[in-house]
Amino acid sequence: GDSVTQMEGPVTLSEEAFLTINCTYTATGYPSLFWYVQYPGEGLQLLLKATKADDKGSNKGFEATYRKETTSFHLEKGSVQVSDSAVYFCARVKAAGNKLTFGGGTRVLVKP
Amino acid sequence: GAVVSQHPSWVICKSGTSVKIECRSLDFQATTMFWYRQFPKQSLMLMATSNEGSKATYEQGVEKDKFLINHASLTLSTLTVTSAHPEDSSFYICSALRGDTEAFFGQGTRLTVV
């Protein structure tokens, strides 16, 4: 079935460090891929998305490229800030109107 | 971006009582909404898919008589936790689907059953 696997946290970084969160998905169908961010005490917010192979989603300095050959959608940011501390979820949706499948979430803590 | 409002943001109730959580899409119509449950430091678990004008579709292992879902209009879905018990304490999140694949999430409801 559909599944999403992402690296376990917590990931602790210093401000201005480089962040990578790995995410891989099962290659059933041609899914759209997403990264969501959840700040403490809040619901999820869409961070970025990609709908087909080789697409690059970007937002707020974060980027992720849809890699069909490695079934990956790794999230990166070149210089993190304390305000980036949150839980990040990788997700996929298989087809129109279908439900999202989430990875387990990765908690990121950025220290000043 | 689109706005989904979830109410209340937190609620404390006594064991045995029922609690209703509302999910509203404020600036778009959503024929499909989803209800999730999130345990501390864990991912979201899909509970059910709420379809406007028809019965909700529940995921395996989710008791439909305990978690009643009503999607009476294109902008409102409700989740009622009936006869709540402490083990039902959790963070409940809804999302509304705009178009085919754009999902927007509510801010979540923290339910504590005492």
**Which tokens is B76 given?**
């409102």
More reliable by pLDDT, A1 or A111: A111
* Confidence check: pLDDT of A97 > 70: no
Q: Is A102 helix (H, G, I), strand (E, B) or coil?
A: strand
Model confidence at B72, pLDDT cuts 50, 70, 90, reads: confident
Mean pLDDT, range B81-98, rounded to an integer: 94
Is pLDDT above 90 for B76? yes
Which residues in chain A (64-103) have CB-CB distances under 8 A to chain B?
89, 93, 96-100, 102-103
- In angstroms, how far is the first alpha carbon of chain B from the final one? 37
Residue B61, C-beta contacts closer than 8 angstroms, at least 6 positions apart = none
For residue A97, which residues of chain B lie inside 8 Å, CB to CB?
32, 97, 100-101
Q: Taking the CA atoms of A20, A26, A32 and A35 in sequence, report the sign of the dihedral they define.
A: negative
Asked whether the beta carbons of residue A105 and residue B42 sit closer than 8 angstroms, the reply is: yes
The answer to whether A91 and A3 have CB atoms below 8 angstroms apart is no
Question: B-chain residues within 8 Å CB-CB of A41?
Answer: 108
What sign for the dihedral angle of Cα B69, B72, B77, B82?
negative
Q: How many angstroms away from the CA of A96 is the closest CA of chain B?
A: 5
Facing B43 at nearest CB: one of A43, A45, A104: A104
Mean pLDDT of all residues in B61-80: 94
Closest-CA residue in chain B for A49?
Answer: B102
Quote the mean pLDDT of chain B. Answer: 92
pLDDT at A100: 85
d(C-alpha A37, C-alpha A88), whole Å: 5
| Cα-trace Rg, chain A | 13
Angle at A107 between CA A104 and CA A108, to 5 degrees: 145
Question: Mind telling me how many Å the CA of A67 is from chain B's nearest CA?
Answer: 20
